[in-house]
Amino acid sequence: MSEIIRPHAESAYAHELAALAAVDDRPRPDNWLLSPWAVVTYLLGGKAGDTEIEPKYYGKRRIIEIAVATLATDRALLLLGVPGTAKTWVSEHLAAAISGNSTLLVQGTAGTTEEMLRYGWNYARLLSEGPSEKALVASPVLHAMQQGKIARVEELTRIPADVQDALITLLSEKTLPIPELGSEVQAVHGFNVIATANDRDKGVHELSSALRRRFNTVILPLPATLDEEVTIVQNRLNALGKTLELPPNAAPIHEIQRLVTIFRELRNGKTEDGRDKLKSPSATLSTAEAISVIHQGQALAVHFGDGDLRAHDLAAGLTGAIVKDPANDQVVWQEYLETVVKKRDGWQDLYRACKES
């Protein structure tokens, strides 16, 4: 049997979850697999007996503590932030640590319907038998209510506003009416919802004030320092490299540092030393995009080079990540190359590769 490309968090980190459960003697909310303290340890890293717990999130501890504390109450959790701030990653690992199941997921898109959040029908059975429990098709949210688990709603603000509001009753009353059957489903202890959203991309629908009140909003910021962002990129690349069987050290640390520096400077509109102001492109230039650029460069180096990631392996992906609007972003990128990259010691190889790409 072929190995799964990306196992769910509860499978990939099953040994860590088991080790934490074995030493976790703190109070647990009903139907939680771990105590809030152990959930935070799972996300931020630490020790569980002799087992080293790998950090899943790099940032302020208080952010994760607030998120976990929210889920221990009757308030739902909204993880808000620009693209690439690990909202989905944190959501998945929170659900895995609390419920042991991160798969009760609704992916928000412009085509998401109310049935995907509530319930639908098996129309063949509905026509032959009429409305019945057997004809009902439960959504992931309904399954979570019945089982006392965490439901995840990704990209909530991409869902049309009238569909978003289907969540209001089940978040406030913890009940989902089924008028066709003259019944309702009441949530059992342990049920809650984690939603993610951003307000930067196009095609975003604002949340109604009624729905927003049902959530406690936690903002996930971009990494605060260069070293923190480099560490995140390096760790994610190591995990991806193992999955795709890339050679160890396929991405040298100095190449990661250079790429992350470029992204941070263009994103912040100034050089890292604060001496020069820069124009920013329209692209988000998130940590997730930095990982993608280096990952692509790794693949080029391994399959079409000598295995060592070099400037020319990064150049094409780097230009593609920055230049989203050819008319404006190309000017910003060329100006940055001439005023910063060209003059920086040891960066001439990257300058030449980017000019040629």
H or E element that contains 336: helix 326-336
The rounded distance, in Å, linking the Cα atoms of 313 and 307 is 10
Dihedral sign computed on CA atoms, order 262, 264, 270, 273: negative
Find tokens 């697999």 and name the residue. 33
Tokens for 166, please give them.
Answer: 């289907």
Average predicted confidence (pLDDT) for the chain: 91
Indicate the pLDDT class of residue 64, thresholds 50, 70 and 90. Answer: very high
Q: Is the pLDDT of residue 2 over 70?
A: no
Lowest-confidence range among 58-67, 110-119, 310-319? 310-319
Q: Is the pTM of this model over 0.75?
A: yes
pLDDT of residue 243: 62
Of the listed ranges 25-39, 146-160, 236-250, 342-356, the one predicted with least confidence? 236-250
pLDDT band at 164 (very low <50, low <70, confident <90, very high): very high
Closest CA to 151 of 183, 107, 87: 107
- pLDDT per residue as tens digits for the range 129-144: 889 999 999 999 999 9
Q: Mapping DSSP to helix (H, G, I), strand (E, B) and coil, where does residue 51 land?
A: strand
**Percent of the chain clearing pLDDT 90 (strictly above):** 68
Of 71-75, 165-169, 236-240, the poorest mean pLDDT is in 236-240
Is the dihedral angle over the CA atoms 86, 144, 72, 18 positive or is it negative? negative
In the predicted model, is pLDDT for residue 1 greater than 70?
Answer: no
